[in-house]
Amino acid sequence: MAGEILDNKGRGEAGWSWPAIHSEGRKFGIATVAISMVFLLLVDWDIVGWPLLALSGGVFAFFRDPERVVPQDENVIVSPADGLISLISEVEPPVELQVEDASGQKGLPPGSVTRVSIFMSVFDVHINRSPIGGIVKRVIYIPGKFMNADLDKASEENERQHILVERPDGLAIGFTQIAGLVARRIIPFVKSGDMIAVGQRIGLIRFGSRVDVYLPAGTSPKVLLGQKVIAGETILAELGEQKLLEGISQ
């Protein structure tokens, strides 16, 4: 199915399949299986071996990497992460995304914008994707704390990685991968200067985390607080659209 074009008129073919396991997670899953086999077959400690074997299934599930059908519309910004919309607030983008870089390239303009925060639990897919297509202008890693990623101050105090992507027309979107209470490593798949497509995999965060997206000025989110979103598929916002949306939890 990868690379196949599907649309809202029924073109293409769709079918369920087991999601792939990202290579970053195979080593952890295989190692857990191997250790469980030692306890089950050599040491004969079933009380340890069976829970470890069950844990290996959870490890493989955590690193699952399913295919996604990415909207191809230049006006939309797609979700970079699976998870829960935990915060929507008006903030200044991080200074690392605003200041000029070493080559003199400007970042995001100053001024308040809408930040949409997506919280990823250990049950969500943790492969992150680009909200727009373009050139990766900067990837900035910042060491920090490991507080609960659901907290607002995690955006400024936790270990994090800022990414800035700029389209050919000059529109730039900044977003931040934030490590959480359990997460201990942010793994990038891209570097500055790479050309990427909307919905392309750009990295992952191990074991519970968050992604913040800074929408361009004059753009409101098309998602609601408490809504579940899917990376590469859910439309997070439509450029230039400002509209109040309300939902009812039921």
Residue 155 has a pLDDT of: 66
pLDDT per position as a tens digit, 154-183? 667 678 899 999 999 999 999 999 986 665
- The whole-angstrom distance between residue 137's C-alpha and the CA centroid of its chain comes to 18
| pTM listed for this prediction | 0.87
The reported pLDDT for the residue numbered 154 is 60
pLDDT tens digits for range 103-133: 778 889 999 999 999 999 888 999 999 999 9
3-state SS class at 62: helix
Would you identify the CATH topology of the domain 76-238? Answer: Glucose Permease (Domain IIA) (2.70.70)
- Integer angstrom CA distances of residue 167 from 17, 125, 132, 229: 33, 26, 7, 23
pLDDT at 151: 60
pLDDT class for 187, splitting at 50, 70, 90?
A: confident
**Are residues 160 and 149 in contact, defined by beta-carbon separation less than 8 angstroms?**
no
Which residues does the annotation mark as catalytic? 209
Q: Quick one: pLDDT band at residue 80, thresholds 50, 70, 90?
A: very high
Say which residue the tokens 């073109």 belong to. 11
State pLDDT tens for residues 24-55: 778 888 888 898 888 888 887 888 888 888 88
The least confident of 37-41, 76-80, 197-201, 205-209 is 205-209
Higher local confidence (pLDDT), 2 or 213 = 213
